Amino acid sequence: MNDTIDQSRMCSVGLLTTDCYDDLGNFIVQADEAGHDFVVTPISHPTLRRVLNEDKSISEQEQRNWKDRPVFDRKDLVIRSAEWSGRAVGLLADWIQLDSSEPEVRMCSELALKQEMDWACHISLSGLIFPALPTGSLFNTARVINSAVKSMSYTQFLVRVPLTDKKNVQENLSWKQWNRFRTLTEYNTKIHVALEITSELPSDKQLLDMWLAEPIKAVIVPAEIFVENAKGYPVLSKPHQKFIQNLMDKMKPDMIVTLPPTQIHKKATPQSYSEYIGYLNRRLPPLKDVDQFASGYQDFLQAPLQPLMDNLENQTYEVFEKDPIKYQQYEKAVYKALLDRVEYDSDYVTTIMVVGAGRGPLVNCCLRAAEKSERKIHVYALEKNHNAYVTLQNAKADVWGDKVTLVFADMRKWTPPTKCDILVSELLGSFGDNELSPECLDGAQKFIKEGGISIPANYTAFASPLASTRLNNNVAAYKDLEHYETPYVVMFQQVCELAPPKALWSFEHPNTQGDIPADGDPMNNLHNVRYNHVEFTVKHDMVMNGIAGYFESVLYKDVMISIRPKTHSPGMFSWFPIYFPIRTPVQVPKDSTVSLQFWRLTDAKKVWYEWTVTVQGRNGEEMTTLPIHNVGGRSYFVGL
């Protein structure tokens, strides 16, 4: 593999030490020469521990003076000025005990923490790392930190969280403690994770994947977890490599290597560690076509398109026409339909109607399929967007000629001069039916001859419970109900599904189930109403932040397109998944059941979705029930 990589995928690498109290500047220079981008060091010298007065050596008067006006003495500080603040991340004192049973220790710890944080902000330190959370009670720790970070703007605050609990690697005890802490802080967006990799990794992949949904800003890799390769250089085991590279790929965290107190590998140096981390970074798997297309859009909330109510812009058409896989599959479907529909007949002309023709890519698919199948065709291309229609006119004049008849009309209202053998459309949205393909094709199916073919033939919506702190924070930033009740098209990045998706409902075309006259329009839209509930058993304690939605479509017989992860069409990027937020993060205990209730509803003017979530314990007791979201389409709907 090429040894170069897109710089946008490169992670910064830092060096952590707790033993540079006397000459930080020299340590930074040495770290820089060893290839490190920054250093991590304590803010203050251990002598500052005197504030706890554990040895009772400070008089009561001195204690009162310190508490009333705590001031650093220069000798107390490791990071003594702003000179190195851009190259250093500070470690908060590890002796701070905010949940100590001793009131005096708690009070002094709080004072010391605020003093260090104030100094770090004063000199614009790039980041602060809080030592590992206490294993027992952390109520006061959460209260103090939640209050203290409110005034922070430039300096990032991270909590050091071990990946696993040393005593029980196969349980997510460490995550549970982090989850308690961030719940107590009300998902404070100023608090991030410095994930410390442990020597043992859980064998259950989901216990690793669940960290992808957390706000990880840094990954700490202790020197002790490295092993020696045949030449004596420090390397990581294959499972460690894979997990760390996954974090690099999805999160792009700062990588921090800790130095051991004594050399533990023959050829271990600060440079050897930084070079190895860089080596892993350069050898990330190449970006897939979908990821390259989505660059810059990962976890970005986008409103779904409404092509029926709004005319799409030229740039939107152009972007999606670059998808080679979608049109490859459409061409294959038309080709097979032509072979099945018409035995070879040099005189018969197959009529194909492309509804919602846009700028003409499906028309081109039909013409190529006809050439390959050696069948004669005539195409009617319908489009209601007057701007896109001009592009169709250009294509007819310059390329298509008499093979194509253009029609400027809404497919639901047009009366065709003849019926078609094959009806082709690309009206699908990320949830299958969310761009009103059922309603549009209800109006267009009167174009089809008896026994005629619709491409697509059907599509199914899928849903699954999803964890993502990042998406939750993105929605919460709007601070209103409307955005919690609006679905978004999102290229998922920092997410973790609690369980694989399940099917909600399907639509078939032509629709023979609804009360639709053969040569007319439906009396109403009630036949397109849908409801279903699906249940998921969750194997580990997790948090649910929303619902992931996908679709899977049969174009014709065995020709499919899909964005469902298990059956995703390789290389297809026309659709990102859809994300339905929930108003409150839901705690999901191990072995509990998450039930999603979903409705697709309609009236004379609009279509909308409603959804809610319930959680039942392993014994069937109901633990959580959320309100029904988007009642009556009050926050989001698709206009008819």
The count of C-alpha atoms lying within 13 angstroms of the C-alpha of 8, restricted to the half-sphere facing its C-beta, is 7
**Each residue of 121-150: b (16+ CB within 10 Å) or e?**
bebebbbbbbebbbeeebebbbebbbebbe
d(Cα 443, Cα 431) in Å, to the nearest integer? 20
Q: Which tokens in the block code for residue 600?
A: 């697709």
* 317 has binding-site annotation: yes
Number of H helices, E strands in the chain: 16, 27
**Each residue of 475-511: b (16+ CB within 10 Å) or e?**
bbeeeeeebbbbbbbbbbbbbbbbbebeebbbbbbbb
Q: Which tokens in the block code for residue 594?
A: 């998450």
* 410 has binding-site annotation: yes
Q: Which tokens in the block code for residue 450?
A: 């008896």
Is the CB of residue 41 less than 8 Å from the CB of residue 16?
A: yes
Is the CB of residue 391 less than 8 Å from the CB of residue 316?
A: no
* 480 has binding-site annotation: no
Q: Which of 214, 331, 435, 485 is catalytic?
A: 435
* 275 has binding-site annotation: no
473 in helix, strand or coil? Answer: helix
Q: Which of 110, 116, 426, 552 is catalytic?
A: 426
CA-nearest of 389, 385, 452, 459 to 428 is 459
d(Cα 70, Cα 50) in Å, to the nearest integer? 12
> Quick one: 456 exposed, middle or buried, by C-beta within 10 A (0-12, 13-18, 19+)?
buried
Is the CB of residue 149 less than 8 Å from the CB of residue 120?
A: no
535 counts as catalytic: no
Adjacent-strand bridge partners of 324: none
Task: Work out whether strand 622-625 and strand 530-537 pair parallel, antiparallel, or are unpaired.
Answer: unpaired
54 counts as catalytic: no
* 166 has binding-site annotation: no
Angle subtended at Cα 219 by Cα 214 and Cα 222, rounded to the nearest 5 degrees: 140
* 187 has binding-site annotation: no
Adjacent-strand bridge partners of 454: 423
176 in helix, strand or coil? Answer: helix
First-to-last CA distance in the chain? 51
Residue positions in the annotated binding site for S-adenosyl-L-methionine? 317, 326-327, 383, 410-411
Q: What residues are labeled active site?
A: 426, 435
